[in-house]
Amino acid sequence: MTAVSDAIASGAVGERVWFYANYHCNLTCSYCLTGSGPAVARRLLDPALMVELAFQARELGFRSLGVTGGEPFMVSHMPDTLATLANILPLVVLSNGTLFSGPRLERMEHLRGLPISIQISLDSPDPDENDSMRGPENFAKVVKAIPKLVDKGIKVRIATTQEEIGEEALERLCKLHRELGVPDEDHVVRPVISRGRALTAGMGLSAGVENIPCELTISADGAFWSPFGPTVTNGDLDLDLLISRTVNPLSIAANAAVGLATGTSAGADATLGIR
């Protein structure tokens, strides 16, 4: 056992390593943590680096991977990279679900049968309410895409992000996701976190290192405490949850995370808490 695998076993550090593949997106959601949109800086993470770090993550004792953005499927190599990553460790990829048509949908065949889930955002059973946060026709595109992915043998999860959702609306949403082929255990409801665009819009709950669990997160700008770390507010990357500028070898960032999570030495380049 290593310090990292011990910390994962004890729950001090999450078992998943996250990759921020990119920051651009075809949408501009009102609560977007990363201030994403079509014209933002892309901050791409090199796919070969993701693969190299995934092997290192497995070696260190991490048990799963996550890929997020921006919208990861804006990046053309994504289905192939995801297939490679999922052959290293089980994987979840977060997506807005609006790009799965034509050749992009066909390339999702590469993921058939692999240990991969696509977590798609759907915030309300009411198209107007959903689209007011996520953009015109978002609801229609998402409900069309999900059964197509399910038909390809790809596991789909649904994530609902809301400041508040009533019981009746939640019931209708659950009925809808079941009809789309997504069971209850694959539906998550989560609060808006007040970072990025949500912060500037006065939305959501504030969250800091004391109430965000440690899940090592790698971006083009360094390693962060959590996927809620490398957010972008008013065009500037937030650095309060940065733990290391060094991401390769992964052990440097992983040991810094362990130090912070367990109260032992955090390592010389840890900057958590310093903006």
Binding site for ligand SF4 (CB under 6 A): 25, 27-29, 32, 34, 36, 69-71, 96
Which of 69/229 has CB closer to ligand SF4?
69
Closest separation in Å from C-beta 228 to ligand SF4: 13
Q: Radius of gyration over alpha carbons of the chain, in Å?
A: 18
Closest separation in Å from C-beta 25 to ligand SF4: 3
Residues contacting 174, CB < 8 A, separation 6+? 184, 187
Which of 70/259 has CB closer to ligand SF4?
70
Which of 10/101 has CB closer to ligand SF4?
101
Which of 200/248 has CB closer to ligand SF4?
200
Nearest residue to 224 via CA among 79, 26, 19: 19
Closest separation in Å from C-beta 93 to ligand SF4: 12
Contacts 24+ apart (CB under 8 A), 151-154: 152/108, 152/109, 152/111, 152/112, 153/112, 153/113, 154/108, 154/111, 154/112, 154/116, 154/117, 154/118
Contact 117, 147 (CB under 8 A): no
Count how many Cα atoms sit within 13 Å of the Cα of residue 253 in the half-sphere of its side chain: 28
Which of 35/125 has CB closer to ligand SF4?
35
> Three-class SS of residue 200?
helix
Closest separation in Å from C-beta 8 to ligand SF4: 27
Closest separation in Å from C-beta 69 to ligand SF4: 6
Which of 233/271 has CB closer to ligand SF4?
233
Contact 191, 212 (CB under 8 A): no
Residue 274 phi, psi dihedral angles, 5° rounding: -115, 120
C-alpha angle with apex 119: 6 to 71, nearest 5 degrees? 105
Which of 20/62 has CB closer to ligand SF4?
20
Closest separation in Å from C-beta 180 to ligand SF4: 18
- Would you tell me the crossing angle of helices 78-86 and 47-60 to the nearest 10 degrees? 20
Please count the residues of the chain: 275
Closest separation in Å from C-beta 160 to ligand SF4: 13
